[in-house]
Amino acid sequence: MKPASSWPELQTSTYGSGLTLQYGKNRVAAKLIWHDDFRAIKHVEKQRSSGGKGGGGGGKSTIKTESWNYEASIMFALAEGPIGGIGRCWVDKSAGALNSRATGSGWTFFRGNRSQAPWSWLTSRHASKAVGYAGTAVLANPRLDLGESGALKNYSFEITGFLSDTGFSGDAHPAQVLPDFLSNAYYGAGWDRARIGDLSDYNDYCRAMGFFISPGFSEQRPALECVADLLTATNSDAVWSDGVLKIRPYGDEPVSGNGASYSPEVTPLYDLDDDDFLRDGDEDPVQVERKSASDAHNSHPVAFSDRRQAYNESLEEEPDPVDVERFGVRQAPKRSLRMITRAGHAKQLSRILAQRSIYTKNRYTFYLGLRYALLEPMDLLTLTDRGLGLDQHPVRILEFEEDSEDRFRVVAEEWPFGIAHAALFEVQDGDGTAPDVNADPGYANPPAIFEPPAILTGGDPELWLATSGGALWGGCEIWISRDDASYQLVGAINTRARHGELTASLPSGGVGDNSNTLAVQLEGGGELSSVSAEDRDDLVTLAWVDGELLAYQSATLTGADAYDLKKFKRGCYGTPITSHAAGSGFVRMDEGIFRYALPSSRIGQQFYIKLVSVNVWGGGKQAIAEISPYVYTVTGRGLLPAGPSNCAMQISNNKPS
């Protein structure tokens, strides 16, 4: 075993780190809570090499390569439980499902029930350390592959947390999140549920606007800040009145959607004038504070967790076009609201914040008597003050406080109706469009393997191979063995070959065959095109058909990847003109063919060939042990003397005949 002094260090855990409280569906980082049984595993690979041309001749030697791989037993904490489940997983930049090639196999998932039992594997091997972690969603793996470095990679998981609504992409309803966050007996902020007022208007507004959220609280913060972010994300504010917490939306236009309708209260409660204001001496009863033009931002970028992009941070910015046209862009600092997961929500909120900023420049401060004691923040009023030129000017109360002289100090902002609403932007949401660079490429299609005439190889025997794959197939490595035990990497294919099989028999014919049809079904897609007679005679469309080489002039698409080929030049390069049964192999001779030099001494011997696929991003490489080999017996056809050549080329005006 590799000496312990040279083992790579395992990533350490953090003591005292907060456990994520997740609502809705979002991506959370895994927290290492236990690891043990670190193991170094030695691998020795033997490869046999031969000297001489094409691998033949000279002496033989065996090359041994030694490498180390590392494993450990680990447990990850995900979030406060019980959670609904786990969706996508990310290991560094690779993505996939749990127990897929991206995450490795052997994972055990614990939802985080309050009566959660310890991991049975841990109980059987480390009984003194077996803890159930009740109320904590946990992932455990007894043999996590740490690769050649031994370092623990960055793991994160899409989890379905509390109050997730499957009807709205897994997000949660804010009117349900807020009371749970404040009053839940296990993880709440300690509030009595009775101190939270009726949230029916808030619920209808959020539903109608599509304001659904997936907040995750993973760091220690004042609950007030968490609630403030939630209210900002839903264009609402909190009011403490009559001994309860009330939530009042800023929305000031009727809106319907998602099975709900919201009708705002837009009638001012009072029309106030000089007879209603209390004043000291000769001072103006209404004091005005006007926002600086530089603080009236017409663009408010909103940062959110973009579910379409693997929950990475994205920005949506929807400035007020009229104000931008007049004064140019005045951008506010970025507002980070990672509880938002949909671009449409972030775009609406960005426009609303911009409108509120540029159209509520004035704040008014005034005093009222005790008969207005029932007023509260978010109520609407109108102000009439001749000295300021105000005539039933609409305002919304921001602050309402009683002072020591039994007066109520009121701070209100101007409120042009309609500024707290934005068009419902239809942005197509999805469950992630970021490419899964470790996606399974799928197996390579069964290859066509043949030995071409010596004239095509310069006289040296070669083995040619053509293959393709499915939608995510990006190529494959070619591994060859003579004993199906020790394999050697001899090259790679990164271009799909145009190959397949005949769907009907092809009779034999003459060199110039204009009467028969070659019906072909391509295996992995591709296109076959018609060419001129001159290009056909120049063998531009050369194809291999079960040992015969021919060139075609006409190609007609008859179905999905199916073609009828006609007007042939047959028996090219001295290959025999014969009939070919349905199911015979077809290969278009192009750059998609892999060529392997054969030692002349291998005639009659078998080769075992494995095609190890990768995906279109170069990832998701298959394990060679998972691949079944194709067996090919060398015939030596490439060494046989050519018979009469039906396609002997005689130069005339630089064109073959």
pLDDT band with cut points at 50, 70 and 90 for residue 47: low
> Measured between alpha carbons, how far is 598 from 592 in angstroms, rounded to an integer?
19
Distance CA 143, CA 146 (A): 9
pLDDT of 10 > 50? The answer is no
Distance of alpha carbon 362 from alpha carbon 286, whole angstroms: 12
What percentage of the chain has pLDDT greater than the value 70?
88
Q: CA quadruple 120, 123, 129, 130: dihedral positive or negative?
A: positive
Contact yes or no for 455/642 (Cβ under 8 A) = yes
Q: Which of 370, 134, 61, 376 is nearest to 247 (CA)?
A: 376
- Tokens 């054969």, residue located: 598
Question: Which residues, in sequence order, are bridge partners of residue 159?
Answer: 26, 86
Stronger pLDDT, 540 or 417, i.e. the higher one: 540
Q: What is the pLDDT of residue 454?
A: 87
Q: Tens digit of pLDDT for each residue in 618-630?
A: 888 888 888 999 9
pLDDT recorded at residue 404:
85
Q: What is the mean pLDDT of residues 299-310?
A: 93
Cβ pair 304, 341 in contact under 8 A = yes
Using alpha carbons, select from 330, 331, 295, 293 the residue that is nearest to residue 315. Answer: 331
How many C-beta neighbours within 10 Å does residue 282 have?
Answer: 5
Looking at per-residue pLDDT, the higher value among 54 and 483 belongs to 483
The confidence score (pLDDT) of residue 621 equals 85
**Residue 35 vs residues 10, 13, 41: alpha-carbon distances, Å:** 9, 9, 17
- Tokens, residue 216: 């995750």
Q: Residues near 3 by Cβ (< 8 Å), separated by ≥ 6?
A: none
Give the pLDDT score at 638. Answer: 67
* pLDDT value, residue 433: 52
Which of the residue ranges 89-93, 113-117, 247-251, 634-638 would you say has the lowest mean pLDDT?
634-638
C-alpha 113: how far from chain center: 29
* Over residues 154-173, mean pLDDT: 92
> At which residue do the structure tokens 């020591």 appear?
404
Side-chain-facing half-sphere of 420: CA atoms under 13 Å: 26
Q: Which ranges of 234-332 does DSSP label H, i.e. alpha helix?
A: 321-327
Tell me, what amino acid is at 561? D
- Give 157's strand partners: 28, 89
Residue 3: per-residue pLDDT: 39
Identify the pLDDT of residue 279.
85
Per-residue pLDDT reduced to its tens digit, 390-421: 999 999 999 999 988 889 999 999 988 765 55
Region 293-300: what's the mean pLDDT?
87
pLDDT computed for residue 420 by the predictor: 54
Instruction: Identify whether the C-beta of residue 585 lies closer than 8 Å to the C-beta of residue 499.
Output: yes
Average pLDDT of every residue of the chain: 86
Helix (H, G, I), strand (E, B) or coil at 573: helix
Q: How many helices (H) and strands (E) does the chain have?
A: 7, 37
Confidence band (pLDDT; 50, 70, 90) for 282? confident
Compute the Cα dihedral for 501, 503, 507, 509 and give only its sign: negative
Q: Does residue 533 carry a pLDDT above 90?
A: yes
DSSP element (H, E) containing 519:
strand 518-522
The pLDDT assigned to 1 comes to 39
Q: What is the pLDDT of residues 64-97, one digit of tens each?
A: 667 788 889 999 999 999 999 999 899 887 888 8
Query: Which residues are within 8 A (CB) of 32 and not within 5 positions of it... i.e. 6 or more apart?
Result: 11, 12, 13, 74, 75, 76, 77, 152
